[in-house]
Structure formats: structure tokens, C-alpha cells
Amino acid sequence: MWWKNATVYQIYPASFKDSNGDGIGDIPGIHSQLDYIQSLGVDAIWLCPIYDSPQHDMGYDVSNYEAIYPPYGTVEDVEKLIAACHARGLRILMDLVVNHTSDEHAWFQESRSSLSSPKRDWYIWRPPRLDAAGQRRPPNNWRSCFGGSAWAWDEATGEYYLHLFAAQQPDLNWENPATRAAIYAAALEFWLRKGIDGFRVDTANTYSKHTSFPDAPVSNPAHEYQYASPLFCNGPRIHDYLREMAAILKKYNAMTVGELPLTPNPADVLAYVSAQESQLDMVFQFDIVELGTGPDMRYHTTPRNWTLPDLKARVQATQALMDGTTDGWSTAFLENHDQGRSISRWGCETTPSLWSASAKLLCILVTTLSGTLFLYQGQEIGMVNAPLSWDIDTEYKDVESKNYYAFVRASSSSSSSSSALAAAKSALQHLARDHARLPMQWDGTPHAGFTVPDATPWMRAHDNHPDINVKRQTLDAHSVLSFWKKMLSIRKAYPDVFARGVFAHVDPEDERLFMFEKRGEGRRVLVVLNFRDEVQEVRLEGLLGGRYELLVSNNVEIGEGEGMSMHVLQPYEARVYLV
């Protein structure tokens, strides 16, 4: 199993590297940066969706699984990329988006063409409900993940179709075996035959719905549509479907990492990733990345409302799966294309030195955790969120951000609207998915070297790119980038303790320091993280017993191999000791 000790580098194709000056990243652009990717010390890349798509949700609305979105390139470009990765010993994963298609997919076009279409049942159609006044209403009260009803009315055939995400993303009906067979042929086997090494499986726990479509409990009486995720995640037949899909993947020896929203209970997670179950090889749990998000609506929250014990508990929850008592496996990650940047959420950007220290502290945190490690493009150079001064209406592009902002604007009265919009803006500046989608910062030239100077990039490059970029950090032995490379090689050198060790808290309630132990085969490490922007003292003697030898630190002032001499931790100082 190549993936247990592996690090996977996640690429957001639109924002990684533009090779032809149209302002949109592309496959040849990714190809041109394989030397850089490999220099990080990663083992595989994962490409977010590159299939043909009208891009209502950045390619998570696929209109043809067997074609590439033209601005990204061609199927042949992908074949070349697969060959080039393999020639270097890099694996390549693609995104598998099969809960829904685009409404422009031929299957849906056929499905919506008439009530008697042979593909009618490939999607989820239901007649309207009538309210007390005899008015047509959606079949139930579910709110879609992007706001509004989860059902869209189709005038031509007089029924609603289900869309857990945007109206342009109709949900496939997995109950129908013919639909499943078509999904496996087009979305999986077409690409597996081309030699890809596996898939990141989008919303892996939503394919099976309760076919009676019960109403969600009314958690917010002021809203017409209600939070319904617990009703559509982990449905009755989900494990059967995943087992069926895994049987196909197995023929190609392909690896899977499933996205697993709304599954906080470790026993439920284990049902997906237990080796004996043969469903998914690992999952992305949401415990850490959801810290600080609103419970009913993700952006209905205030920035930095979390405490260190909260964060510790969530780290522990994801590590528990790999405590040596289960046959399950999971992942370690702090960022992806759906999250604000980790430094902006849990680190500090107020000065360059705190930015650098906290970027390295977060690097130490995630690279010392068990599970397959996922590194998101730009995380390795410490990219941060766009500033509060950026206008939501013009600079933010994501359907989720736009819909939320429009919802707040529409639902607040004129007297409350400026404070409601300010609160929404502040939450979006902290958590919106847009931040991770800003162009990759290659250098200090216009548009951060992501595209040619006279192009208009599809998203504006961060104004800080003259300071934070790959070129500059490659030349600096103490940069965030150099630190990531170092940590990835240390992780490789001690796989038993970092990638596969057993995690244990030192003091889960301590509000100032995050300390944990990782236990490997015959050795242990102690990780000490100062999560504050102030100096702190730490007493290590007697904590875990044994002698401590410093393995690595983000403080250049203390040399490696230096032992217990320094007990004062600088702001955001992080250390790893061999015990």
C-alpha cells in the first residue's frame, strides 16, 4: 500500500499555472511544474475536476466525464501528464464527482426531456406538494448546501428534481442499477484504463437517500428551507454502493480517498475505512476544518471563535481512527479548495515573523499527524486569505459565497442590513472557499507569475505576492517552503512515528500550548506547539519520562540536537523532540 506513508499534493487546476495566457490554469501548466512539485518531496498529485463542465461549481458540475474542459486542455494532455508523472515515480489521482452531474450532461438532458424518457429515473424526480392554499411547493423542506430549496421545478414535465448543491447540479439516482453501471463506465473505468492511480471521491457519503424524502426538523423557523444534511449523509444503502464501486477500483489497484462530511462519530467513520470492509481506503474527516464554522449555516459565525482545547479535541477525533486498535486509515490535512487558508484561520498574519513562525508551526502540526498527508497548493509557501478590503461582489467568485451574501442581503431588513452584511463579509473573509482558489504565487511579477502580465486572471492574485512566492522562498533556506521540504523528509525518515504512530494528548485542556505524543515502533516523539503570539514557558521534565532530543524546531535560534536547555518558547514556536 504505497499510500500509507505518502504525501499527496492537491492541485486546483484553474489556479495553478496558466500556460497559454487565457487567465485560466491548465493541464500543460501543471505539466510544466512537475519539477517543482517533485522537489517538495511528495509522492502523488490529486487534480480537482478537469472534466468538461459549464463551471457553475468549478467543475464539480460535470457535463461529460470523458472529455476535458477545453480551457484546461484535452484528453491527450492528460494522457501526457499521466505518463510524465509515472516516469518520475509520481502517482496521479483524479476527482470523482458522481453524486450529481451538471444539468448540461446528456444524461440529464434526456432525463428531463419527458416523463417517459428511459433515463427519467437516472435522476431524482418528485411531484410537487401543495400547501394549504393549494400552491405548489417542493417535495420537502430541505435546504441545498448552497442555499435555497434542494429541489428545482421543471416546468416542462411538471416535477421537481433534487439537487443537494446548485440547481445546475442534479443528483443522480443511485437506486437504479443502470445508472450506477453508466457511472462506473464513464467516470471511473474510462480514466482507470488510462492508468490513473486512484480517485478523491467527492461527497462520498451522500449517494444513498431515504427514498421517502422526509422533511428535516425545523431548526430555524424563520427560514423556509431547513438544514437537512443529517438526512442525506450516510443513507441506508451507502455502504452497498461503495462496496460495489470498490470492486471495480480493485481491478485497477486504484486508491480512494472519500470526502466524508457530517460524520463526527468515529464508529461511523470506521464503517467506511475499515480495511476489512473494502469500501474506501481513507477519508477526509471534517472535524478540524469545520472548527469555527456556523452550525446551521457555515458562514453564520464570527472569525476565531474557537479555543485551543476545541482544536485539540478535533485533532484527536481524526487521529483516534489510527490508534492501533482498528483496521481503519484516514488522512491528515489542514487545507483544501473548500477552506480558508490555515494561517488565516489558526495562525497569525500580523507581522512577517509571526506569519512565518505560525506557518511553520502549522506545518509541524500536520506533518506529525498520522494518516496519508495532503498538502494543498500554496500551503507550502504560506499563502493567506484575501484581505477584508476585497469586495465580495466583484472579487469573490464561488457560488457558495455569492449565494450566502445574496441571502443575507435579501433577508435582512434595511435597518439591519449594513451590520448583517458586515458580519457576513467578515465571516466570508475568514472562511470562504474563494481564498484557496486565488492564483498560485510563483513570483513577484504581475499576477504572481500565474499567467502572462497582460492577461486577466480568472481570480485576482493576492496583493502580497511580491513577498510571498515560490521563487523568493526557493532561494531562502529559512523560508516556509524550505521548512515544508524539511518536514516532509523528516516525516519520510520516521514513518512509524509520524505517518502511522499512535497519537496521545499531553494536556487536552491547556489553553496555551498544544503538546502531544506520537508513539511509533520502539520510539516516541513529543510535539510542542505554542499557539500564542506571546512567549511561554514549558516544563518538559517528567512529562513523558525519558530523555528528550530536539529533532526539529521552527526557531532558527535553537540548533538541532540541542536538548532541554531552552524552556522558553517564542511566539508560535514549535518543536519536535525524540523521546
Minimum distance, C-beta of residue 348 to ligand NOJ, in the bound complex (Å): 27
Comparison of 345 and 360: residue with beta carbon closer to ligand NOJ: 345
Among 9, 72, 161, 165, binds ligand NOJ (CB under 6 A): 165
Comparison of 19 and 144: residue with beta carbon closer to ligand NOJ: 144
259 given a catalytic annotation = yes
Cell numbers 505576492 label which residue?
465
Residue type, position 425, single letter = K
Residue nearest to ligand NOJ (CB): 60
Comparison of 69 and 572: residue with beta carbon closer to ligand NOJ: 69
Residues shown for the chain: 579
Minimum distance, C-beta of residue 229 to ligand NOJ, in the bound complex (Å): 12
Minimum distance, C-beta of residue 221 to ligand NOJ, in the bound complex (Å): 28
| DSSP secondary structure code for residue 409 in this structure | H
- Residue 85 grid coordinates: 508523472
Comparison of 432 and 526: residue with beta carbon closer to ligand NOJ: 432
Site for ligand NOJ contains 530 (CB under 6 A):
no
Spell out, one character per residue from 273 to 312, where the chain touches ligand NOJ: x when CB under 6 A holds, - when not.
----------------------------------------
Site for ligand NOJ contains 434 (CB under 6 A):
no
Indicate which residue of 259, 380, 517, 573 is catalytic: 259
Dist. CA 566–CA 579, nearest whole Å = 16
| Long-range contacts of residues 27-32, Cβ cutoff 8 Å, at least 24 apart | 27/68, 27/72, 27/73, 27/74, 27/77, 27/78, 27/81, 28/73, 28/77, 30/81, 31/77, 31/80, 31/81, 31/84
Site for ligand NOJ contains 259 (CB under 6 A):
yes
Residues in contact with ligand NOJ, counted by CB under 6 A, come to a total of 9
Can you list the positions of beta strands (E) in 310-464? 331-332, 372-376
Comparison of 161 and 572: residue with beta carbon closer to ligand NOJ: 161
Minimum distance, C-beta of residue 232 to ligand NOJ, in the bound complex (Å): 12
400 given a catalytic annotation = no
φ/ψ of 455, rounded to 5, equals -85, 165
Indicate which residue of 202, 281, 287, 398 is catalytic: 202
- Residue 390 grid coordinates: 476585497
Site for ligand NOJ contains 203 (CB under 6 A):
yes
What is the three-class DSSP state of 364?
Answer: helix
Minimum distance, C-beta of residue 568 to ligand NOJ, in the bound complex (Å): 42
φ/ψ of 201, rounded to 5, equals -100, 110
Dist. CA 103–CA 91, nearest whole Å = 32
Among 8, 78, 97, 98, binds ligand NOJ (CB under 6 A): 97
From the number of C-beta atoms within 10 Å of its C-beta (0-12, 13-18, 19+), residue 452 rates as middle
Binding to ligand NOJ (CB under 6 A) within 329-368 occurs at 337-338
- Closest by CA position to 306, among listed 287, 293, 316: 293
Minimum distance, C-beta of residue 35 to ligand NOJ, in the bound complex (Å): 28
| DSSP secondary structure code for residue 385 in this structure | P
Among 18, 26, 202, 287, binds ligand NOJ (CB under 6 A): 202
Any idea which residues carry the catalytic annotation? 202, 259
Task: Note the residues at the interface with ligand NOJ (CB under 6 A).
Answer: 57, 60, 97, 165, 202-203, 259, 337-338
